[in-house]
Structure 1
Amino acid sequence: MNKNVRMKKRGTFALMLAALMLVISACGGKTDTATTSGGAQVDTVAASNNEPIQLTWWHSMSGSGEKAINQLASDFNASHPDIQVKAIYQGKYDESLNKLKASLGSDSGPDIIQVYEIGSKFMIDSGMITPVQQFIDKENFDLSKLEPNIIRYYTIDGKLNAMPFNTSNPILYYNKDAFKAAGLDPENPPKTYEEFEQAAKALSQNGKPGASMAIYGWFMEQYFANQNADYVNNGNGRSEAATESLLNSEAGVKTLTWWKKMIDDKTLANLGRSTDDTSAAFAAEQIGMTLDSTASLRGIVEKVGGKFELGTGFLPRPSDVKEGGVVVGGASLYIMNNKSEAQQQAAWEFIKYLATPEVQANWSVATGYFPITTAAYDQQVLKDNMAKYPQFQTAVDQLHASVDSTATSGAVMGVFPEARQIVEGAIEAVLNGQGTPQEALDTAAKQITEKIAQYNATVKK
Structure 2
Amino acid sequence: MKFKPFWLRKWSLLGMSLFLFLAACSGGQSSQGSEPAAAAGSEASSGPVKVVWWHSMSGELGKTVDSLVKQFNDSQKDVQVEAVYQGEYDEGLNKFKAAMGSGSGPTMMQTYEVGSRFMIDSQAVTPMQQFIDADKFDVSQLEENILSYYTFDNKLYSMPFNTSNPILYYNKDAFKAAGLDPENPPTTYADVEKAAKALTKDGQSGGSFPIYGWLMEQLLANQDVELLNNSNGRSGLATESMLNSDAAVNTLTWWKKMVDDGVMLNLGRKTDDTKKAFAAGQIAMTMDSTASLRGIVSSAEGKFEVGTAPIPKPSADYKGKGGVIVGGASLWIMNDKPEAEQQAAWKFIKFLTEPSTQAYWNVNTGYFPITKKAYDEDLIKENMKKYPQFETAVNQLHNTKIDPATQGAVMGIFPEARQLTETAMEEAINGSKSPKQALDDAAAQITQKLQDYNDSIAQ
**TM-score where L is the length of structure 1:** 0.92
CA contact (8 A) 1:56 1:86 kept: yes
Match in the other structure for 1:453: 451
> What do the CA deviations read for 1:405-454 (whole angstroms, capped 9, x no partner)?
11111011111100000000001011111111111100000000001101
CA contact (8 A) 1:170 1:315 kept: yes
User: How far apart, in 1, do the equivalents of 2:433 and 2:162 lie?
Assistant: 37
User: How far apart, in 1, do the equivalents of 2:115 and 2:191 lie?
Assistant: 34
CA RMSD of aligned residues (A): 2.0
- Superposition pairs of residues 389-404 of structure 1, within 5 angstroms: 389-404=387-402
Cα shift at 1:301: 1.3
Other structure's SS at 1:70 match: helix
User: Are the structure 2 counterparts of residues 125 and 75 from structure 1 closer, same or farther at C-alpha, using a change threshold of 3 Å?
Assistant: same
Match in the other structure for 2:333: 335
1:159 aligns with 2:155: yes
Match in the other structure for 1:143: 139
CA contact (8 A) 1:39 1:339 kept: no
Match in the other structure for 1:437: 435
User: Are the structure 2 counterparts of residues 412 and 199 from structure 1 closer, same or farther at C-alpha, using a change threshold of 3 Å?
Assistant: same
Match in the other structure for 1:410: 408
Correspondence for 2:318 among 316, 321, 342: 321
> What do the CA deviations read for 1:193-228 (whole angstroms, capped 9, x no partner)?
110011111100157521100000000000110000
User: How far apart, in 2, do the equivalents of 1:105 and 1:215 lie?
Assistant: 37
- Superposition pairs of residues 30-179 of structure 1, within 5 angstroms: 37-38=32-33, 48-179=44-175
Correspondence for 1:351 among 349, 352, 360: 349
Cα shift at 1:354: 0.4
Match in the other structure for 1:422: 420
Match in the other structure for 1:234: 230
Counterpart amino acid of residue 378 in structure 2: Q
User: Are the structure 2 counterparts of residues 74 and 148 from structure 1 closer, same or farther at C-alpha, using a change threshold of 3 Å?
Assistant: same
Cα shift at 1:272: 0.5
Match in the other structure for 2:254: 258
CA contact (8 A) 2:35 2:339 kept: no
Gaps of 5+ in 2: 13-28
CA contact (8 A) 2:34 2:339 kept: no
> What do the CA deviations read for 1:244-302 (whole angstroms, capped 9, x no partner)?
00010111001000001001100010000011000100000001100110000011112
Match in the other structure for 1:198: 194
CA contact (8 A) 2:56 2:87 kept: yes
Counterpart amino acid of residue 85 in structure 2: Y
User: How far apart, in 2, do the equivalents of 1:209 and 1:180 lie?
Assistant: 15
Match in the other structure for 1:278: 274
Gaps of 5+ in 1: 22-34
CA contact (8 A) 2:204 2:281 kept: no
> What do the CA deviations read for 1:62-118 (whole angstroms, capped 9, x no partner)?
111100000011010011211000000000011001111111112111001000000
The runs of 4+ residues in structure 1 deviating greater than 6 Å are none
Match in the other structure for 2:26: none
User: How far apart, in 1, do the equivalents of 2:159 and 2:64 lie?
Assistant: 18
Cα shift at 1:45: 8.9
**TM-score where L is the length of structure 2:** 0.92
Correspondence for 1:243 among 225, 239, 246: 239
Other structure's SS at 1:267 match: coil
1:17 aligns with 2:8: yes
User: How far apart, in 1, do the equivalents of 2:222 and 2:426 lie?
Assistant: 21
User: How far apart, in 2, do the equivalents of 1:411 and 1:440 lie?
Assistant: 20
Cα shift at 1:40: 12
Cα shift at 1:404: 1.8
User: How far apart, in 1, do the equivalents of 2:131 and 2:57 lie?
Assistant: 26
User: How far apart, in 1, do the equivalents of 2:177 and 2:50 lie?
Assistant: 59
User: How far apart, in 2, do the equivalents of 1:94 and 1:174 lie?
Assistant: 31
Cα shift at 1:140: 1.5
User: How far apart, in 1, do the equivalents of 2:33 and 2:186 lie?
Assistant: 51
Match in the other structure for 1:294: 290
Match in the other structure for 2:366: 368
Other structure's SS at 2:44 match: helix
Other structure's SS at 2:318 match: coil
Match in the other structure for 1:181: 177
Other structure's SS at 2:412 match: coil
CA contact (8 A) 2:210 2:270 kept: yes
Counterpart amino acid of residue 123 in structure 1: M
Other structure's SS at 1:212 match: coil
Match in the other structure for 2:206: 210
User: How far apart, in 2, do the equivalents of 1:99 and 1:83 lie?
Assistant: 25
CA contact (8 A) 2:41 2:340 kept: no
User: How far apart, in 2, do the equivalents of 1:338 and 1:100 lie?
Assistant: 13
User: How far apart, in 2, do the equivalents of 1:285 and 1:248 lie?
Assistant: 34
Cα shift at 1:130: 0.2
User: How far apart, in 1, do the equivalents of 2:451 and 2:423 lie?
Assistant: 20
Counterpart amino acid of residue 443 in structure 1: D
User: How far apart, in 2, do the equivalents of 1:121 and 1:336 lie?
Assistant: 15
User: How far apart, in 2, do the equivalents of 1:234 and 1:62 lie?
Assistant: 36
User: Are the structure 2 counterparts of residues 152 and 38 from structure 1 closer, same or farther at C-alpha, using a change threshold of 3 Å?
Assistant: closer
